Amino acid sequence: MKKIKILSLLFCVVMLVAACHDEEDTPVPVTVKTVLMYLVADNSISGDIYSNIASVEEGLAKAASPGTFVIYWDGGSRKSEFPDPTLFKYEVDGKGKVGKREIIKTYSGQNSVSNEVLNKVLKDVEVYCPAEKYSLILGSHATGWLPVDHKKSRSFGDDRGAKINIPDLSVALKQSGIHFDYILFDACLMSQVEVAYELRNAADYLILSPAEVMSAGFPYFKMTKHLLSVDNTEQNVINVAKDFIDYYKNEYDYSWATIAVIKTDEMPALTNITYSLMEQYQDNLVKFDNNRINYFQTHYGYGRSPLDHSTYDFRAFIRELTDDNIPSDFEEQLDRTVIYKDYVDDYKLVNIDPDIYSGIGCYIPDDRYSNWNDYFRTLQWYSAAGWNETGW
């Protein structure tokens, strides 16, 4: 009897060890799609950014595709709920059922806009929420292509004053090894040729605004179903942009919004045509003296003080460069690149010209901004578009 008891005990121990081993080796199920919303919110709009979480939760029940929605939160106004940067997720079955919020990982205090941290979080998402497709939403303050400057420009992000330059952001995304079907910037001034060219290899589509975005951000309660959908990515990203405009046109107190959807694999062709035009009309660059640039700021500038003179409508620039004779091949390629654009400007922040609006901005070098010019020369767009051949 004693021998039987010992054998039974040994059998139970072996089974327990085997069960634990099986549990550890059980792979995490691969979902069809994982969307990561990366919120850098330890700044002046923390409360507004936090509201987007509830908006997402409302929208998840409307999703018609199963998937995983992951949120990385680093914010200063919700210390009781999130004392540290936190990664959490919701599982969605695509039939109206949404799983409870599940904490994936918490991090010690960190700079969420450093290459290292961003790359680490992306790797964690890949490990804990593997999927056939990935999408990315980046939410925070931003100022587009501009260099990080603690006085007035952020490039992207604001984590207690820390920011990341767009080329560095591009490197972090590349190092993650993840290619996104789209990247949505819930941030100001991001639809610029300089930004799109830097990020052309990171995602198939970019959803961004050439001008300022209201602090309420994107209406996730309306558009999360499109964010999770896996069928026809191009139509889904266009639907997201349409929901954004509809919200600010019909539901928000202030009717102001600008939006564009950029198809990134068309950026090289647009850049090549721009290079040809810069070469052909190089002598016309003398037209962009201070008076003309000031005129452009008033009529086509997307940035307001202190970011005025940092970005202008790209089509307006090309029209001026080509003596009001924009070549048809440029127009056609611009339409293939910016596949959707719209705006609502009843509550004006800057002037939008309906006859020229392209949905994407560009910088025109200005001798009054030497620091900006120096940084502009480090961007890939500078050489690819032919600015390096002009003497700037």
pLDDT band at 24 (very low <50, low <70, confident <90, very high): very low
* Arithmetic mean of pLDDT, 88-110: 94
φ, ψ of residue 217 to 5 degrees: the values are 75, -150
The domain made up of 31-265 has a fold known as Rossmann fold (3.40.50)
Crossing angle for the helix pair 328-337 and 314-321, to the nearest 10 degrees: 170
Contacts of 332 (CB under 8 A, 6+ apart): none
From the number of C-beta atoms within 10 Å of its C-beta (0-12, 13-18, 19+), residue 381 rates as: buried
Predicted local confidence at residue 323, as pLDDT: 97
Q: Say what the pLDDT of residue 43 is.
A: 87
What is the domain partition of the chain in residue ranges?
Answer: 31-265, 268-333+348-389
> How far is 246 from 259, CA to CA, in rounded Å?
11
**Residues in Cβ contact with 343 at an 8 Å cutoff, skipping those fewer than 6 apart:** 245, 257, 258, 259, 352, 357, 359
Would you state the pLDDT for residue 77?
A: 64
pLDDT of residue 25: 53
Task: Please give the model's pTM, rounded to 2 decimal places.
Answer: 0.91
* Band of residue 199 on the pLDDT scale cut at 50, 70, 90: very high
> What is residue 375's predicted lDDT score, i.e. its pLDDT?
96
Q: What's the pLDDT at 123?
A: 96
Kindly report the average pLDDT of the chain as a whole number: 91
- Phi (first) and psi of residue 260, to 5 degrees: -150, 150
Q: Is residue 153 within 8 Å of 190, Cβ to Cβ?
A: no
The token pair that represents 102 in the structure block: 């599940």
Overall average pLDDT of the 343-367 stretch = 97
pLDDT digits (tens, 9 = 90+) for 114-162: 999 999 999 999 999 999 999 999 999 999 999 998 667 789 999 888 9
pLDDT of residue 23: 40
pLDDT digits (tens, 9 = 90+) for 255-286: 999 999 999 999 999 999 999 999 999 999 99
pLDDT confidence tier of residue 329, bands split at 50, 70 and 90: very high
Answer whether 311's CB lies under 8 Å from 301's CB. Answer: yes
Q: What is the pLDDT of residues 34-80, one digit of tens each?
A: 999 999 998 888 899 999 999 999 999 999 999 999 999 999 767 67
